[in-house]
Amino acid sequence: MGQRLPAHGGTYGHTQLTLHNLFDSADQKVKDRIMHGTFEELFPGSPKLPAVGTEKPAIATV
């Protein structure tokens, strides 16, 4: 049988690196949509995220 999740070795550090590799060079508008807009659509009852564009306020698109 295959390995069951979660992996015992832990993958959190690799996940963070993957996210940085994907989003560090992404357009701010894309990042805002994925990290804020889509999250709120998927989890409408969750506490609100920090304001869109607060990661880099100077280039915020929303």
Q: What is the pTM of this model?
A: 0.47
Closest CA to 56 of 21, 31, 34, 20: 31
pLDDT value of position 44: 87
- In the chain, domain spans: 12-59
Instruction: Pick 44 or 36 by higher pLDDT.
Output: 44
Instruction: Pick 45 or 48 by higher pLDDT.
Output: 45
Beta carbons of 28 and 59 less than 8 angstroms apart: yes
What would the mean pLDDT of 18-29 be, rounded to a whole number? 88
Q: Is 54 exposed, middle or buried (0-12, 13-18, 19+ CB in 10 A)?
A: exposed
Q: Is pLDDT at 9 greater than 60 in this prediction?
A: no
28-40 per-position pLDDT tens digit? 888 888 877 888 8
